[in-house]
Structure 1
């Protein structure tokens, strides 16, 4: 009999030994990936229905993105912003055009882009709106997830992200998500921005009530306040539109982008806004050594090219309808509620059956990778290259998990 070399337990133990325990990953050790599929160190294949929290919208190792990265690696990888490189203008121009804005400020991670938006909003408030020094206020929503820096967790309502990391940065007001009356009451003369996720991902893929985002846009216009849309997870095709906020025909004053902008290859983030907003920054006031580096820009340009055809937005819309129809059919059979848009769904599992973590562990046993959040909720966000049959396969796997639990 041939002995099978099983590497997963040892690899998990080594990771546990040598890393800080700031994550609690599923017991899967991935070694290779292609498209919507990943393969672990023992050769087992899984459908990736998390896609790096939307960082892999175009799938693993998309050929056009890999080619762009390879070509740039042979030429130039980093200059710092002390100089201008030959990919920088093309990337900024392409992204500004995609967003319908004048200017772009590239960074690396989503949290850096959010911090950039906060600084720009405050500078705009002081230099343009005329808010008194030190009094700028930004209104945010409960259950938000904008990152994990010390300033960002200061306005988080998630104890896991916030507790024991104070003292906290002042200057933020928190209101219930989707409550326009509460938001209106919170906005005052010192308010410089409203920072929102058009769909709250970490909270469980929460979609706001119809008309909410349009109402926020109207309020911001009336009170001379910037509307800042954090589209780090929801943007770049995920919901069936280029940006999730487009579902209500709303244009923000500032887009905050990341994740899919790097094509699953390099971390790339950015803010995009009009010249009247981003133009408030002066040399030396903000920056990042790797922000807008040549490799990132080369990959980002190719990402934008993929989006310009509309193919991925349409795939997300069409296959999202298939995904949501399949998930809704499970309501009453172990699923309590399904939310989301496009290829993005939050699924509330009946807690009497299992936790979200248990559901994801059992899905992995059926060859599908997903991620839990907040108790009994799981999130599904496959790459936009997923096929109709693969969507059906993932729904069937969840159905099987629920059926086993109900026996």
Structure 2
């Protein structure tokens, strides 16, 4: 037990000087940003604003309740700990210290996520250090990474948990070992508990365990582990709602109708600008008039579709690289796991259209796939220096554009804060 705990801690936290440097770099960068916002503005947590202050995040509602039970069934318990810890630090007041604690918890989670992705690039894909650093910096500049680094939300911790689990599963499959039922159950409860649709992603790596479909014993064991994880999750879910399971279906239908019937922007533009693009490359912003349904009016900030051909070009080039990586590594089971996981989100948001008009907020469910698939693309051409040089130049150009664009858009974000949230 002691050995397993040590291995778990080494997996989650930095275990080398390079990993520690990556962690501290992002902790300082994100921490500076979050600290400044928490101390000078009230947008991270304002008791009068339950949702939609910026980019449709539900900061107050999530911190106070964990979010709606039909989508975030067990988040209530997790955010009870987050809220009580923050209140303990702030002396029971929901003031700047309270906001600062929430911001630093988010900052730490996203910085640890960067470590997980770096570990995957270095230890699983085994890329050279320079390329790993380029890819992790690229990932660290994503709009999702920046925003979640100071936002107390389900997506913040979902991104960390999915990154941890994918790295853990990759280690197990690389060693041709099965994922234990205990680990599968813990992952199902934590990942599925924060967002219910993500529980499916927990089971994907099992499909690629060695000789799964060639041995009835191994197949039966896999089925048992899945059933065990599902039953434990379902029991805790039903316990959370006092076994009133009828409410799940009625609430789910209401949520689907509410978030799937927006026709103001063409679907193709929402897919490119919001789902694929907005979670990585900030578009321009627009302010909207909001109210908390209790007489308080406030301003909200939303993303607009891209207005620049360069932004569309960036997204298209990135998607081409991702598809190139997939087809080049088609026989790689670890790549298949990442892509299948990504396809689940594409189906939910792009095909079923759930929340497509604000799909940039769901980036925490899938953005970690981009740097990993890019890493596998570099790996596929490790013995071809010319192709590696070409890919490095492309990544350098994209990195420069991403940095310039997102810094510029963050200045717009701060202008919004200065105007409405001092």
Normalised by the length of structure 1, the TM-score is 0.25
Instruction: Give the structure with the larger helix fraction.
Output: 2
Instruction: Give the structure with the larger strand fraction.
Output: 1
Normalised by the length of structure 2, the TM-score is 0.25
